[in-house]
Amino acid sequence: MEPLLHRKREAIARMFSIIAPKYDLLNRLLSGFNDVRWRRFAVEWLPVSAKIVVDIGTGTGDFAFAVLDRCSKAKVIGVDLSTQMLKLAQRKAVAQGRKDSCSWLIADGLNLPFRDESADAVVCAFVIRNFEDLTKGLTEMHRILKPNGVALILEFCQPKPSWWWTPVGLFVRYVVPIVGRLMSDPVAYSYLTASIQTFLPAEAVAEKMKAAGFRKVVWATLTFGVATFFRAVK
Ligand X SMILES: C[S@@+](CC[C@H](N)C(=O)[O-])C[C@H]1O[C@@H](n2cnc3c(N)ncnc32)[C@H](O)[C@@H]1O
Amino acid at 161: P
Q: Please enumerate in sequence order all residues whose Cβ is within 8 A of that of 178, keeping only pairs 6 or more positions apart, or say none.
A: none
User: Are 7 and 131 within 8 A, CB to CB?
Assistant: yes
**Using the rule CB under 6 A, is 126 a contact of ligand X?**
yes
Q: Which helix (H) or strand (E) holds 46?
A: none
* Segment interacting with ligand X (CB under 6 A) among 94-102, 122-130, 171-179, 217-225: 122-130
Please give the radius of gyration of the chain, using alpha carbons only, rounded to the nearest integer.
16
* Residues 123 and 56: beta-carbon distance below 8 Å: yes
* Pairing mode of beta strands 227-233, 52-56: unpaired
How far is 63 from 55, CA to CA, in rounded Å?
7
Total residues contacting ligand X by CB under 6 A comes to 22
Residue 125 vs 150, nearer CB to ligand X:
125
Contacts to ligand X from residues 85-104, by CB under 6 A: 85
Interaction between residue 84 and ligand X (CB under 6 A): no
Q: Which residue number, 125 or 217, has a Cβ lying nearer to ligand X? A: 125
Shortest-Cβ-distance residue relative to ligand X: 59
* Interface positions, 13-72, toward ligand X (CB under 6 A): 13, 16, 57-59, 62-63
Q: Which stretch binds ligand X (CB under 6 A): 79-87, 114-122, 164-172, 213-221?
A: 79-87
Q: Please, which residues bridge with residue 151 across strands?
A: 122, 232
- Residues near ligand X (CB under 6 A) are 9, 12-13, 16, 57-59, 62-63, 79-82, 85, 108-110, 125-127, 130-131
